[in-house]
Amino acid sequence: MTIRWKPRTLLILSATVAYWIVMCVGTHVPHVPGGGGQPGGNTDKLYHFGAFLCLAILVCFCVRCFGPLRRWHYVGVVGAIAIYGVIDELTQRLVINRTADPLDWLADVSGATLGAAIFAMFSQRTSHGATG
């Protein structure tokens, strides 16, 4: 069986993969003490929250390319991103001057959860709006 990919599907998948790669690389750049460019404190948590919120929305778009989303899809998206967040935090310990922070992971999961909820809310609104 041959799968025919729609250009829109390829664009969404490519954008999501590119975003995820940029996120991964960005979290594994060595931190230079006093160098300025690395966020810290509460601002860092906001960056984590926002980045994972966007990632969840993109992954939901990817999943929707293959059919309508059910509740378990959203749980799967948040669960997969939560697992990625743990791996991301733990592998940062392998980078010079980087540490794993459980609060970063909490911000990651919170952002992913809100991102999936926002996607679900707007998907439900547009599907009800189209039939009503």
Reported as a single tens digit per residue, the pLDDT across 56-84 is 999 999 999 988 899 999 999 999 999 99
CA 78 → CA 9, 30, 32, 107, distances in Å? 21, 27, 32, 12
pLDDT category at 33 given cuts 50, 70, 90 is: low
* pLDDT tens-digit series, residues 74-114: 999 999 999 999 999 999 999 988 888 999 999 999 999 99
d(CA 59, CA 20): 10
* Mean per-residue pLDDT of the chain: 87
At 17, phi and psi to the nearest 5?
-65, -45
* Burial of residue 81 (number of CB atoms within 10 Å: 0-12, 13-18, 19+): buried
pLDDT of res. 30: 85
Using an 8 Å Cβ cutoff, are 51 and 107 in contact? no
Name the CA radius of gyration of the chain, rounded. Answer: 17
pLDDT category at 127 given cuts 50, 70, 90 is: low
